[in-house]
């Protein structure tokens, strides 16, 4: 299992009149968590795309438990429970500054060969970097 956490502060533009983070912005926090998880492996989305692979989101599930509040620092915990194949699954746990679980989510992304516009396996480099977490 691979777990990575990053922190993001809720900005004013991401909130509604109540000072709660707008519900549609949680998907953006998930994305930041995924991007930083890749960066922690020494990779980026940009480098994957330059190598000919893109990763569109196939599905997204989001469960709201408590609101994320304006100017609060949110911890985004990203969990990859199994090695990817053509698809890669992520789970998310978002915590507020009191370390209370405020949101849970999951996404499934698919690896797509950009030239052929067809599903493909992830690069061997990516799989090799993950292997250590799944032994």
Tell me the per-residue pLDDT of 86-97, one tens digit each, with 9 for 90 and over: 999 999 999 999
Number of C-beta neighbours around residue 117 at 10 A: 8
Residue-level pLDDT at 135: 81
Residues of the chain with pLDDT under 70: none
Q: What pLDDT score was predicted for residue 85?
A: 96
Strand partners, 14: none
Domains along the sequence of the chain with CATH: 2-134 (3.10.129.10)
Whether residue 107 contacts residue 90, with contact meaning beta carbons closer than 8 Å, is answered with yes
User: What integer pLDDT is reported at residue 33 of this predicted model?
Assistant: 98
Reported pTM: 0.93
Q: Mention every residue, 6+ apart, whose C-beta is less than 8 A from residue 66.
A: 96, 100, 101, 102, 103
Return mean pLDDT, the chain: 96
């Amino acid at each position: 299992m691979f777990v990575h956490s990053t922190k993001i502060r809720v900005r004013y533009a991401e909130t509604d009149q109540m000072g709660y983070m707008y519900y549609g912005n949680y998907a953006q926090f998930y994305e930041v968590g995924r991007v930083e998880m890749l960066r922690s492996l020494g990779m980026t989305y940009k480098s994957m795309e330059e190598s000919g692979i893109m990763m569109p989101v196939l599905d997204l599930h989001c469960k709201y438990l408590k609101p994320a509040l304006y100017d609060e620092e949110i911890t985004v915990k990203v969990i990859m429970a199994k090695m990817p194949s053509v698809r890669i699954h992520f789970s998310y746990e978002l915590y507020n500054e009191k370390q209370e679980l405020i949101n849970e989510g999951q996404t499934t992304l698919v690896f797509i060969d950009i030239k052929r516009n067809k599903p493909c396996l992830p690069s061997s480099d990516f799989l090799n970097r993950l292997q250590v977490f799944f032994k």
